[in-house]
Each structure stands twice: as structure tokens, then as C-alpha cells.
Amino acid sequence: MAGKIIDGKFIAKKIREELASGVSSFKEKTGRAPRIDVILVGDNPASHVYVGMKEKAAAEIGIKSVKHEFPSITEKDLIELVKKLKNDREVNGILVQLPLPKDINEENVLSAITAEKDVDGFLAENLGWLCRGKERLQSCTPLGVMKMLEHESVEIEGKHAVVIGRSNIVGKPMMLMLLNKNATVTVCHSRTKDLASHTKTADILVAAAGVPEMVKANMVKDGAVVIDVGTTKVDGKLKGDVDFEGVKERTSLITPVPGGVGPMTIAMLMYNTLQAAKKQEGI
């Protein structure tokens, strides 16, 4: 059985189109566009690329994005800015591009964002609501995975979902989202013994460990749905956590890297911004 390849680019495009229509309707009702403010500190080249992609996506959909860029800034001034944006009714979403320079405590800065404007879904409060099954703003990458599964009509309830990786922004919210959809969920990580014994029983396998091609064909159950969140640069090429060529023969559905989960993340950031704006405006 050769797995159908899930086309993340196509799904993300469809979502962006739906969002553009949602943004239009928001503008009609409120007379203004939803707005996301993006804070970028330092000269990390990848961060500059990501922020550029976010600005482009926002522009396409009709969301207003405002960039606050600093070659350097003190933690105190950065927190002041976040607080100002938090109290500005025109601002619907606040995104602090990570990583921040090492002399700034990320936790202190992120804590200054209010949960209502936390469009990255990183704050403890939003993660806690997700844990309680009351979804507020949710982490973009795992939310994108859920939208992909929904788009492909993957049945989640009663299935065994195995997540490899337990980061605060992917693995853990992923586990909670799958649990909220009534999957039986197992979380594996670097300390897991005999990883294959777990992955081999997975109906849905999400690899988010950041270890290139660690998931091999003999670790996957026949007919599984395999989602690859990994993106590691190896010799200038983007590699996923899944040995795609070997594994795809065993799956019913599989995401490629690139062109799988990747394009969904920014689409979900835009989704969160529109959701936040609508909630703040009570519509």
C-alpha cells in the first residue's frame, strides 16, 4: 500500500482563502482589518525570513501586520513595548519572534502578553485551557496538523495516536489536541526505551523530535497515518523526522517535508489572529 501524500501547500492555500473571506467579513463589520504586531529583535537570519513570510501571508489575506524591529533592545524596553501593545485596542495579536538574544529572558517577555492576544498560543494560560479541553488560542503547528487530519477526514476518536517529541510548542499541545478528539495518546521522547514498540502500534504517528529520518519503515504499522513535523537542515536540504521513501509504502496517508506541515503553521497564525480579533470585537 503506497500512502497518499497529504499536500500541505494545497490545504494551507485553501485555509488562506477561507481566512481572506473571514477577514473581509470582519472588515465589513468593524470598519478595520484584524491586526498582528510582530516584534523582531537581533539579526538571526532565519528569524528575519520567518517574519517576512508572516508579513506576506498577512498581506495576502488582508490582515494588517505591523513590524517592530530592533537590532538590539533591553529587556525592560521590550517588556514596555509588549505592555503598550497589550493595552492598545487596535492590536489583536502580539507575536514575539523567538529566539530572543541571550541577554533577554524570553519567559519574562512572553508573560507580558495577555492570553487574548497570544496568537502563537504559547502562554501557560492558553496551554492550560487546551489541557482542560476548552480551546482558546492554540499553538500553530499542532493546530495545523489537526486541520490537515480534518481536511483528509482522518478518524481520530478511538485511534491510538503516538507523538514523538514533547516540546512546549509542538509535542505537548499535539498530545492534548489528539486527546481532546478522543484518541488514546502516547507521548514518546528522547528518554523512551524501545521507541519502535510504541510507534508500531500507532494508527496516527506524529513525529516531532527534530531528528532527521529517525522513523524507519519497520517502526510503522501498516496503514498508519504519518505526520512529519521535523524540519532539520542537512547539507542545505530540509529533512523531516521520517524516512519518507521507505515509510510511505506502509502508510495510508503521509506528509512530505517540505510541503507538508510547514505551510500550515503560518496559515494557523493567521487563523489565530482572525479568531483573536473576532473575540476581542465580540463577533
For the annotated catalytic residues, the residue numbers are: 54, 97, 120
Which of the residues 242 through 261 are near a copy of itself (CB under 8 A)? none
Question: How far from 266 is each of 42, 49, 131, 181, 249, CA to CA, in Å?
Answer: 21, 12, 23, 23, 29
Which of 72, 105, 197, 218 binds a copy of itself (CB under 8 A)? It is 197
Structural contact between residues 147 and 264, judged by C-beta atoms closer than 8 angstroms: yes
Scanning residues 137 to 166, which ones bind a copy of itself (CB under 8 A)? 157-158, 160, 166
Number of residues that bind a copy of itself (CB under 8 A): 32
Stretch that binds a copy of itself, among 17-25, 185-193, 215-223, 246-254 (CB under 8 A): 185-193
User: What is the smallest separation between the CB atom of 140 and a copy of itself, expressed in angstroms?
Assistant: 17
Of 129 and 271, CB closest to a copy of itself: 129
Q: CA-to-CA distance for 186 and 218, rounded, in angstroms?
A: 19
Q: Which residues contact 193 (CB under 8 A, 6 or more apart)?
A: none
Binding a copy of itself (rule: CB under 8 A), the pick from 24, 25, 105, 182 is 182
Give the nearest distance from C-beta 86 to a copy of itself in angstroms: 16
Whole-number Cα distances in Å, 143 to 60, 83, 90, 94: 21, 27, 25, 18
Can residue 89 be called a binding residue for a copy of itself (CB under 8 A)?
Answer: no
Q: Is 196 in the site for a copy of itself (CB under 8 A)?
A: no
- Is 61 one of the binding residues for a copy of itself (CB under 8 A)? no
Among 44, 47, 108, 184, binds a copy of itself (CB under 8 A): 184
- Rounded distance between C-alpha atoms, residue 202 and residue 226, angstroms: 9
98 binds a copy of itself (CB under 8 A): no
Residue 55 beta carbon to a copy of itself: minimum distance, rounded to whole angstroms: 28
Q: Which stretch binds a copy of itself (CB under 8 A): 68-76, 168-176, 222-230, 236-244?
A: 168-176
**Residues numbered 119-138 forming contacts with a copy of itself, rule: CB under 8 A:** 123-129, 131-134
Peptide bond into 212 cis (omega under 30): no
C-alpha distances (whole Å) from 232 to each of 6, 10, 139, 173, 202 are 20, 22, 20, 21, 24
Check binding of 99 to a copy of itself (CB under 8 A).
Answer: no
Residue 188: closest CA among 160, 210, 166:
166
Examine residue 117 and tell whether it contacts a copy of itself (CB under 8 A): no
Q: Residue 225 interacts with a copy of itself (CB under 8 A)?
A: no
- Is residue 192 a contact point for a copy of itself (CB under 8 A)? yes
Residue ranges binding a copy of itself (CB under 8 A)? 123-129, 131-134, 157-158, 160, 166, 168, 172, 176, 179, 182, 184-189, 191-193, 197-198, 201
